[in-house]
Structure formats: C-alpha cells, structure tokens
Amino acid sequence: MKKNMGPVDRILRSIVAIALIVLFIMDIITGTIGIVVVVFASIMLISAIIGNCPPYALMGFNTCKKKD
C-alpha cells in the first residue's frame, strides 16, 4: 500500500483523533453522536498510523513527498 500522507498531515490527524476520543471518554460528547465521532476518530487514527488515506487516493491527493 502506497503512502499518500505526509508527516504534518499524519500528526494533525492523530491530534484531532485523540482529542475527539478524549472528549468522548470525558462525557463531553455523548450518545449516538459520540459513537459516530469515536468511529470517525478511530478511522482517522488508523489512517494516520498506516500513512494511507483512501479518499486521498480516490481524489488523487498526495501530501507525502517521498515516492514509495
């Protein structure tokens, strides 16, 4: 799988995902919306870890400067 996310993109996604998960754990975001937010944050965190974003691939975006 080719990486299409640069380091800044990966760091920002990780920070946002962790912040959303913390908000859910602290009961600031609750209910159905909270569950949706946690699922979204989990997907963001996984994509940041592996360095590949499927929507980026579909749209032809690439923030990674290295060629794999």
Task: Give domain limits for the chain.
Answer: 7-53
Tokens representing residue 53 in the block: 């974003």
Mean pLDDT of the chain: 92
Mean pLDDT score, 2-19: 93
| Cα 41 from Cα 8, distance rounded (Å) | 17
Cite the beta strand spans of 1-68 per DSSP E.
Answer: none
pLDDT at residue 67, as a whole number:
64
Please say if the pLDDT value at position 3 is more than 90. Answer: no
Please say if the pLDDT value at position 40 is more than 80. Answer: yes
| pTM across the whole model | 0.84
